[in-house]
Structure 1
Amino acid sequence: MAGDIANPRLWTGADLWTAAVASTLPDFDASMTTVPAWKAVGLLSEDGASESRDEDTNDFYAWGGRLIRTTRSKHKRSIKVTCLEDNLVVFGLTSPGSTVATADGVNTRTVKVPKSEKRAFVLEMVDGDIKRRRHIPTGEVTEVGEVTLGESDLQAFELTITIYPASDDTLYLDYDNDPQGAAA
């Protein structure tokens, strides 16, 4: 059997961080907490994160029905994650443009129609001693799933983060210390 059993990854823990676009990313070996601009969203669902890809393709055929070329356009990439905490960072992501005020121990959330707000994101995952930091320089929460308010289900916020490409078409950068993925 070909392959190496050290290659598959089972990400056993993760954190999602957000900051303003163009915020400085800490060195890979440094904790994300060393740069105050980056804020953690808090606990994430055990379901993990999922990445989806969407694009249009157009196939071209030669006479006789032989496929000779495929073009691609409208590529879109997004990441979906479920936040389990109802904190100020999550509130800002789910209700951009809204505000919170506190007076005499009472918090007042003024929820407004969401405005477009591009942000930077980092999804940091671990598998034993292996760490991967996915840096999304420009993304935006473009969808918030249905939020259950009840006693039988935990309140959670499913976020879909759409990733915007840079001018050179870079979507994100992955940094890791995985010896199995080292360039020769």
Structure 2
Amino acid sequence: MSGNIDNPRLWEGADLYTGPVGTALPTDLTVAMTTVPAWKAVGLLSEDGASESRDEDVNEFYAWGGRLVRTRRSKHKRQIKVTCLEDNLIVFGLINPNSTVTTTTGVNHRVVKVPKSEKASFVLELTDGDITRRRHIPTGEVVEVGEVSLSDSDIAAFELTITIYPDSADVLYHDYDNDPQGTAA
């Protein structure tokens, strides 16, 4: 059997951070994300983890006789889906952009407005023992929020779908990790 049993990753821990577009990352993986005040943690995440989806149009061109001669790809889209378990101000801002919260004498007043487009930066930080991976999404946007259960039999959770926007060089995101299995030669 070929392969290396040290290569598979089981991401046992994760955090999602958000900040304004252009927010710098900490200088290395040993420096906590929270040392940069602009990065805010969304709080507890569902044990279901995060998932990444890809979507694109693929056109295939065939020569006479049915031989494939060319493929054209367009409209590439990536999204990350994660479920937040906390109803805090960071999550509120992500699911209700352009809305406000004020507190007067211990009473919170949330004014929820029709969502407007609001881009942000995101970092999904994953851990597997001593291995850490930070996926930095310089520009993304929460484009979908799943149904929220308001009951006594299910926890209120906020499933966020984040669309990742490429930069002018077509870069979608950057992964930084200390995984010795992924070290470039």
Same fold flag (TM > 0.5): yes
In structure 2, the gaps of 5 or more residues are none
2:29 pairs with 1:20: no
Q: What TM-score comes out, normalization by structure 1 length?
A: 0.99
1:87, 1:55 → 2: CA distance? 34
Matched with 1:135 is 136
Query: What letter is aligned with 1:34?
Result: T
1:115, 1:36 → 2: CA distance? 25
Matched with 1:122 is 123
The residue correspondences of 1:34-113 to structure 2 (distance < 5 A) are 34-113=35-114
2:51, 2:25 → 1: CA distance? 23
Matched with 1:6 is 6
Query: What letter is aligned with 2:82?
Result: V
Structure 1 position 68, deviation (Å) = 1.1
1:97, 1:115 → 2: CA distance? 6
Structure 1 position 55, deviation (Å) = 0.1
Runs of 4 or more consecutive aligned structure 1 residues displaced over 6 Å after TM superposition: none
1:130, 1:174 → 2: CA distance? 13
Matched with 1:160 is 161
Query: What letter is aligned with 2:8?
Result: P
Query: What letter is aligned with 1:11?
Result: W
Match of 1:45, SS? coil
1:98, 1:31 → 2: CA distance? 29
1:69, 1:6 → 2: CA distance? 38
Match of 2:94, SS? helix
2:42, 2:109 → 1: CA distance? 20
2:24, 2:8 → 1: CA distance? 31
1:178, 1:20 → 2: CA distance? 28
Structure 1 position 90, deviation (Å) = 0.1
> Aligned residues, how many?
184
In structure 1, the gaps of 5 or more residues are none
Query: What letter is aligned with 2:148?
Result: V
Q: What TM-score comes out, normalization by structure 2 length?
A: 0.99
1:46-79 C-alpha deviation (Å, 9 max, x unpaired): 0000000000000000110011111100000000
2:41, 2:159 → 1: CA distance? 15
Query: What letter is aligned with 2:151?
Result: G
Percent identity over the alignment?
76
Matched with 2:179 is 178
